[in-house]
Amino acid sequence: MHYRIVCSTEDVVKNITDDTLITVNNDIYEQDDFIVFIYEQIKVICFLNANIENISCSANNKKSIIGIKLILDDNIEKLQIDDLIDRYTIGGKKMAEEKLTEIEVTALPDEEQMYSDDDLYNINSWGADLSFREIISMYEEDELLKPELQRKYVWTKMEASRFIDSILLGLPVPSVFFAKEPDETMLIIDGFQRIMTVFDYVKGIFSGDGKVFKLSNTENINSRWRGKAFAELEVEEKRRIRNTTIHAIIFEQKYPRNDTGMFQIFERINTGGRTLKAQEIRNCVYQGKCNDLLFKLNKNKDWREILGTQDEDSRMADLELILRFFAMSELINRPEANNKQINLAKYLNDYMGDKTKVGNEEINKMEEKFVNMIKACRDVFGNNAFKNLKGDMDGFTNKINPALFDAISVSTAHAIEKRKFDENTDYMSRYVEILKKEDFKELISRRTTNVANILARINMASLELYGVTYEK
């Protein structure tokens, strides 16, 4: 038997403390703050949120926290406490081991600052208990959508099998987070792996390998359904899976009428086991033709050659650079050009939000602009495009410098637009010379989010490389 409880930390310490209490702190992020296991008069409290670590020592803390109280019955009496904790938090501890590709991009301190939006949000939130039968139906009918971030299913067969096993045993399922969109669809903020696991098992095919989904045939799985596919379960076992409910916390932003609040929610609440990068969140929140274009352009052969790999970046650094090109290209004509400083994350958010509902004509122009620019850069700068000189000036670094990327990509696009680009000109020697100039070095390494510096480095590159002034 299990049920959800809400209480203060003071109450937790007061009511769940005795000589047999064991406190476990896990450095993971789950929606529920704690879970209490009660078995043979032994109480185990497992704190799931690192922000309330050592909470048992804070008896005067009146902060409201959410937990699940689980009283173990005969079906799971043989399970060990450690195993129960592991099952409840499955998926939060680690991602499936896989080889991840990360594009080498120079980190610029000025550009890594997150922000708290100045807007005061009107965001409604409510809870709903949904059966997996309902969730599967919603997913099939495109009423429940996975974000672009979640394109890949990452759980191993063993992790997935243990999760199904836990459902069949009657263990509680951690909550999920959904965002309600204006078109009445739901966007999965957190919980995709859990939802997809049940979906795959019921449908019969495991997303991880495309093969028939049978539970692992190991001692980690109950012998009653070990090695079985969903179709091989007893009728009551099938019903148990379909009828198991999962608590969903649903958000809907009423004001402002954009997706800035959803970005903040993704950044602060998502519990996928890793800290999300800004571009990963953007590709969840700002759905639309612009987002689709980024993914399309990221496969461009010239772009992939410059990056030095055909594998897309696992943290979407390559996507962010493409978005950055478009955003910096238009900065001179946007209201932000009048600011002294921009917060890069916010600026890219605002830009992508503005482009969410653009038409096909503008998308086609954006695509042509990037394709022409990147081909020109590869033709004249080769695979060293957007890379700085080494400290000893002997060759180029392996990493792309994002501020240098701004200058070279936008100035090249500008030169093409002004018909000042001539592929027969030795632009490479000019490129090396500008990289040696102290004032240019300053512009691409310090105060890189200062608006005047952004426009100055683009203008300097335009003049030094192509002999054209960068202006409105």
Query: CB burial class (10 A; 0-12, 13-18, 19+) of residue 22?
Result: exposed
Cα separation, 125 vs 31, in Å, equals 14
**Can you give the pLDDT at residue 184?**
86
Cα separation, 358 vs 376, in Å, equals 26
Encoded tokens for 203:
């449908």
Under 8 Å between Cβ of 325 and 405:
yes
Cα separation, 247 vs 130, in Å, equals 6
**Residue 451: partners with Cβ closer than 8 Å, 6 or more residues away:** 331, 336, 337, 338, 339, 340, 341, 342
Encoded tokens for 180:
């309600």
Under 8 Å between Cβ of 217 and 225:
no
**Can you give the pLDDT at residue 47?**
55
CA distances from 227 to 198, 215, 222, 398 (A): 16, 5, 10, 48
Average pLDDT, the chain: 78
| 3-state SS class at 431 | helix
Q: Are strands 144-145 and 387-389 parallel, antiparallel or unpaired?
A: unpaired
| Cα–Cα–Cα angle for 228, 229, 235, rounded to 5 degrees | 90
Query: CB burial class (10 A; 0-12, 13-18, 19+) of residue 381?
Result: buried
Q: Which amino acid is it at 122?
A: N
Cα separation, 354 vs 97, in Å, equals 37
Cα separation, 248 vs 179, in Å, equals 10
**Residue 397: partners with Cβ closer than 8 Å, 6 or more residues away:** 106, 387, 388, 389, 390
**Can you give the pLDDT at residue 170?**
86
Q: Which amino acid is it at 330?
A: E
Cα separation, 388 vs 228, in Å, equals 56
**Can you give the pLDDT at residue 293?**
94
Task: For the beta carbon of residue 200, count every other beta carbon within 10 angstroms.
Answer: 19
**Residue 420: partners with Cβ closer than 8 Å, 6 or more residues away:** 466, 467, 468
Q: Which residues pair with 248 in a beta bridge?
A: 128, 176
Encoded tokens for 34:
């704690």
Cα separation, 119 vs 253, in Å, equals 12
Task: For the beta carbon of residue 332, count every other beta carbon within 10 angstroms.
Answer: 18
Cα separation, 385 vs 378, in Å, equals 7
Task: For the beta carbon of residue 15, count every other beta carbon within 10 angstroms.
Answer: 11
Q: What share of the chain is helix, strand, coil (3-state, %, to 5)?
A: 45, 15, 40
DSSP one-letter string for 152-179: S----HHHHHHHHHHHHHT-----EEEE
Low-confidence ranges of the chain (pLDDT < 50): 18-31, 49-63, 90-99, 116, 120, 149-151, 257, 271-274
CA distances from 44 to 13, 66, 279, 370, 471 (A): 12, 16, 39, 57, 66
